[in-house]
Chain A
């Protein structure tokens, strides 16, 4: 019978014969991004709340080829083993589908993303409004097309709002990749695999506060300045898109 991994024969994915030329070389100052965008131009963002009926709140986000769903459950009873806590708990989990990447992988849990998602969101949630209980935030990356993590965070904050969890503000996240002498915003997978460094900001746009900031690679202070400004600017714009998505959802339910 098929479907059992133990007796399934070894398979391989037939790859393309002629390898793609890298779109970018270190020496080039002027190159075109794989999807033809400007260096400082984000992909158009699409958000929709209420994607999953079974959840207390949910959201779907799509930026280019990156597609994610986040469901929020609760606040519900914490696990029995948990000790008493006078503020609420968050429990985050991020997983990928087997078809998220172009090579069929194992739909695996992303421990790293799970803990980072927790940290990016906890500053925005009013945990004191649901003592003794847990809010579960589960995310599934349907397709990975680059900048998966920032998209996840923005989507998760919308799902939280959809679930009626008290928030200080929505959390918008944007990443910047450093490629040679250029800074490119909202990188796609191809760009991410060539990047010299990356900077990710998650922020609450209306409060103008950064909840999470990670930098990899070597950066000078002035470059960090430049990248942060780019990100914050994009976060503000993204925050507006997210806000209008929520407003739209609210106006259709009251009609």
Chain B
């Protein structure tokens, strides 16, 4: 750190950890002037990111996503519903986002985190408006039966950029999703065609839903959260950074480079057009990285 000869500043006498706790903002500002962050990242670098598809054995589709130490576990369970009258040949997606008490010291049992419903709403808006999934593909019998995809995302470890990690895990879970093959039984309910008896069953019963299949995933929505402080832009903030510098911008773009949503929930810093542009271009770079990570993870899964 630069040698500061400021006489009124007694920070030089203090241990770094104590200084960090007592004057978090000054601690960060010192780093920012050196264009480095306490975890040794440059301002615009994101943390290590990994995706592990198929983490939940009981689910139809699942994935574990990690950005730094922020960890999200997403699981999709397919259930059958009667489609609504308005859209008889469409299925639906229900998104739930949970922050169990294990993930953060702020969350206590019986007192859910304030952040959880906000992120849940953002997630379900993003997934449904992005057009990533054609809801018509979730139809089974028009007007009679359709798939309801229950997407449950659990935050296992919260350390900033929660939305980014949750969205990444959701996207990966949908890519991993296998829709089970079903047939209609005598009572008018659908049953799963078990794999071993596949051949004979299909002969005597009308198979309603072909084979196990994957969804066609068109342009994928992915996001990056940046924190604004004075004129600095910090990409992919940690939990500490988010709590100290309160202004954040979350940009969601899809892989065809279209803007899906831009979210700036207040905060003391007013974002200029230039900084918003900067955030969008950072997101663009980040999405390329994330796409590589996603395709790598699925490639390595297929190998196994």
Find out whether A and B make contact in their complex, taking CB atoms under 8 A apart as touching: yes
Residues of chain A touching chain B, judged by Cβ–Cβ distance below 8 Å, are 1-3, 8-18, 51-55, 58, 65, 69-71, 73, 76, 93, 95, 97-102, 104, 107, 109, 136, 138-140, 142-143
Given contacts A12-B80, A51-B156, could you give 20 more A-B pairs where the C-beta distance is less than 8 Å? A3-B96, A8-B92, A11-B81, A12-B79, A14-B180, A17-B185, A17-B193, A52-B102, A54-B69, A98-B75, A98-B77, A99-B56, A99-B58, A99-B75, A99-B152, A107-B98, A136-B101, A140-B100, A142-B154, A143-B58
Bound CA span A87–B92, Å: 52
**Cβ-neighbour of A71 out of B79, B83, B96, B102 (below 8 A):** B102
CA distance A12 to B101 in the complex (A): 29
Contacts of A55 in B (CB 8 A): 102, 105
Give, as a whole number of angstroms, the nearest-CB distance from B96 to chain A: 7
Interface size class of B (residues with CB under 8 A): 35 or more
Are A2 and B95 also in contact (CB < 8 A) when A14-B189, A17-B194 are? Answer: yes
Does B131 sit within 8 A of A, measured CB to CB?
A: no
A-B pairs, top 3 by smallest CB distance, nearest first, are A53-B69, A71-B102, A11-B79
Q: Are B156 and A52 in contact (CB under 8 A)?
A: yes
Does B297 make an interface contact (CB < 8 A)? no
Cα A198 to Cα B257 in complex, Å, equals 58
Task: Name the B residues within 8 Å of A15 (CB-CB).
Answer: 191-192
Q: Is the CB of A99 within 8 A of B69?
A: no
- In chain B, positions 185-216 with a C-beta closer than 8 Å to chain A are 185, 189-194, 197, 201
Taking CB as reference atom, which chain B residue is nearest A68? B102
Kindly report which residue of chain B lies nearest to residue A8, judged by CB atoms: B94
| Chain A residues whose CB sits within 8 angstroms of the CB of B191 once the complex forms | 14-17
Residues of A within 8 A of B120 (CB): 3
| CB proximity of A19 to chain B, nearest CB, Å | 11
B28 at the interface (CB under 8 A from A): no
Give 24 pairs: A residue, B residue, CB < 8 Å, sorted on A: A2-B93, A2-B95, A8-B94, A10-B81, A11-B81, A12-B189, A14-B180, A14-B189, A15-B192, A18-B197, A52-B71, A54-B103, A69-B156, A93-B109, A97-B100, A97-B152, A98-B96, A98-B152, A99-B58, A99-B77, A101-B58, A104-B150, A136-B101, A142-B154
Q: Are A54 and B80 in contact (CB under 8 A)?
A: no
CB of B159 closer than 8 Å to a CB of A: yes
Cβ-defined partner of A69 (8 Å) among B62, B102, B148, B158:
B102
- Asked if B1 CB lies within 8 Å of chain A CBs, one says no
Check A16–B157 contact: CB distance below 8 A.
Answer: no
- Taking CB atoms, residues of chain B closer than 8 Å to A11 are 79-81, 148, 150
Known contacts: A2-B124, A8-B94. The answer to whether A14 contacts B103 by CB under 8 A is no
A76 to B106, CA, bound (A): 12
Most buried by B among A2, A9, A13, A15: A2
Contact with A along B156-188 (1 / 0, CB 8 A): 111100000000000000000000101101000
From the candidates B57, B82, B109, B194, name the one contacting A18 in the complex (CB within 8 A). B194
Q: Hey, which chain A residues are within 8 Å of B94, CB to CB?
A: 2-3, 8
Q: In the complex, what residues of A have CB within 8 A of residue B58's CB?
A: 65, 99-102, 143
Known: A1-B128, A3-B124, A102-B58. A93 touches B152 (CB 8 A): no
Q: What residues of chain B lie closer than 8 Å to A143, measured between beta carbons?
A: 56-58
Q: Decide if B59 is an interface residue (CB 8 Å cutoff).
A: yes
With A9-B84, A65-B57 as known contacts, state yes or no: A140 contacts B157, CB within 8 Å.
Answer: no
B102-161, CB < 8 A from A: 102-105, 108-109, 120-121, 124, 128, 148, 150, 152, 154, 156-159
- Complex Cα distance, B154 from A138, in Å, reads 14
A8 to B92 alpha-carbon distance, docked (Å): 9
B157 near A52 with CB under 8 A, answer: yes
Q: Do B100 and A138 touch (CB < 8 A)?
A: yes
- Residue B73 CB within 8 A of the other chain: yes
The one of B73, B77, B101, B158 that contacts A138, using a Cβ cutoff of 8 Å: B101
A139: which B residues are within 8 A, CB to CB? 102
CA distance A143 to B194 in the complex (A): 22
| Contact among B57, B59, B102, B109 for A70, CB-based, below 8 A | B102
Output the least CB separation between B295 and chain A (Å).
25
Residue of B83, B152, B159 near A54 (CB, 8 A) is B159
* Given A3-B120, A98-B150, A99-B56, A104 contacting B77 (CB threshold 8 A): yes
- Closest Cβ–Cβ distance, residue B131 to chain A (whole Å): 15
Q: Which residues of B contact A14 (CB under 8 A)?
A: 79-80, 180, 182, 189-192
* Chain B residue, CB-CB nearest to A53: B69
B238 CB, min distance to chain A CBs, angstroms: 10
Residues of B within 8 A of A9 (CB): 81-84, 92, 148
A52 contacts B109, C-beta separation under 8 Å: no
B192 touches A17 (CB 8 A): yes
Q: When chains A and B are docked, how far (Å) is the Cα of A76 from the Cα of B182?
A: 52
Residues of the A chain whose Cβ atoms lie less than 8 Å from the Cβ of B93: 2
Complex Cα distance A16/B58, Å? 14
- A58–B101 Cα distance when bound, in Å, is 12
Q: How far is the CB of A74 from chain B (nearest CB, A)?
A: 8
